[in-house]
């Protein structure tokens, strides 16, 4: 299986600490050696870095670990291939335009008997993974449900996405991260957790490598940062473990919608 990482914050924040831990799972402390990717949002724009090499060996990943790109929304993924070959086009996250916004998506899991389910025309996958096809199907249904113009209430869109995710989960394991650049949605099929850091801040220690950070020295008292991951990245903090079917939508680090 793959692993997910995402962040929602109320101020532009770098994800160097969390990504450093995740990258180790791409070949050192984990078997996820079939590529990795990360997307940073900056306003309505974003920048995505991908590599089909293991994140623990990637020179591009070294750049991300050393260069503190600040963003309010980040989506990242390390891949252990099960559907589709190891290639750049099959590397998450995937991004498509809808309603004048870039939507970014990453999936952890494996689906079966999905070809007849995911009939798409407007959005076509570039690669050959079940993950990207499911993303295209979600966007296709959003366009059909809400039309060609963005609805005033984007939270209604995410409520509908949750029903689509429930359908996809019937086909296998479907842990998902989805963002429009302002909101960040997490959907749990079997493994997903999150932590929200706010004042008073303390120290955190990564599980996968010997790195410690004192967030009190890196933040202001008003900062709110939520990190979502497949498995906890630190061993001295209390992560909230989601249960199958749980989903949440974050905005500026805070939960604004969910079923729990």
Q: Which domains does the chain carry?
A: 3-258 (3.60.20.10)
Percent of the chain exceeding pLDDT 70 equals 100
| pLDDT given at position 34 | 86
pLDDT at 1 over 80: no
Calculate mean pLDDT across residues 224-239.
96
Catalytic residue (choose from 2, 136, 188, 193)? 2
From the DSSP assignment, how many helices (H) and strands (E) are in the chain? Answer: 5, 15
Neighbours of 170 (CB within 10 A): 10
| pLDDT given at position 201 | 92
pLDDT at 218 over 90: no
| pLDDT given at position 82 | 78
| pLDDT given at position 103 | 98
Q: Which residue, among 19, 68, 74, 66, has the nearest Cα to 46 in the 3D structure?
A: 74
Cβ–Cβ < 8 Å for 107, 158: no
pLDDT at 84 over 80: no
> Across all residues in the chain, what is the average pLDDT?
94
Give the DSSP H/E element, type plus range, for residue 126. Answer: none
pLDDT at 22 over 80: yes
- 2 is a catalytic site residue: yes
Note the pTM of the prediction, 2 decimals: 0.95
Q: Compare 205 and 82 and report the one with higher pLDDT.
A: 205
Calculate mean pLDDT across residues 135-160.
97
Confidence of residue 170 (pLDDT cuts 50, 70, 90): very high
| pLDDT given at position 85 | 84
Helix axis angle, 154-169 relative to 130-146, nearest 10°?
140
| pLDDT given at position 184 | 98
Cβ–Cβ < 8 Å for 169, 177: no
* Token couple for 14: 């770098």
Confidence of residue 80 (pLDDT cuts 50, 70, 90): confident
Per residue in 41-77, pLDDT tens?
A: 999 999 999 999 999 899 999 999 988 899 999 999 9
Measure the CA–CA gap between 173 and 167, rounded to whole angstroms.
11
What is the greatest pairwise CA distance in the chain? 53
pLDDT at 83 over 90: no
Measure the CA–CA gap between 139 and 103, rounded to whole angstroms.
9
Least reliable range by pLDDT among 23-27, 90-94, 145-149, 195-199: 23-27
């Amino acid at each position: 299986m793959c692993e997910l990482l995402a962040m929602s914050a109320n101020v532009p924040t770098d994800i160097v600490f969390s990504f450093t831990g995740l990258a180790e799972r791409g070949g050192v402390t984990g078997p996820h050696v079939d590529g990795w990717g990360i997307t940073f949002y900056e306003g309505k724009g974003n920048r995505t870095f991908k590599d089909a090499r293991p994140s623990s060996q990637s020179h591009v990943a070294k750049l991300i670990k050393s260069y503190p790109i600040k963003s309010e929304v980040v989506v990242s993924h390390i891949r252990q291939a099960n559907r589709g070959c190891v290639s750049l086009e099959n590397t998450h996250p995937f991004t498509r335009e809808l309603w004048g916004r870039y939507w970014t998506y990453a999936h952890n899991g494996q689906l079966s008997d999905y070809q007849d389910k995911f009939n798409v025309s407007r959005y076509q996958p570039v690669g050959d993974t079940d993950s990207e096809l499911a993303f295209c199907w979600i966007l296709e249904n959003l366009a059909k449900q809400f039309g060609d113009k963005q609805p005033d209430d984007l939270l209604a869109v995410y409520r509908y996405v949750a029903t689509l995710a429930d359908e996809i989960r019937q086909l296998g394991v479907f842990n998902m991260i989805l963002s429009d650049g302002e909101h960040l949605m997490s959907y749990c099929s079997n493994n997903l957790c999150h932590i929200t850091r706010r004042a008073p801040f303390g120290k955190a220690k990564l599980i996968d490598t010997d790195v410690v950070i004192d967030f009190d020295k890196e933040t202001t008292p008003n900062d709110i940062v939520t990190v979502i991951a497949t498995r906890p990245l630190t061993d001295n903090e209390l992560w909230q473990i989601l249960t199958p079917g749980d989903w949440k939508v974050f905005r500026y680090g805070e939960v604004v919608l969910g079923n729990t």
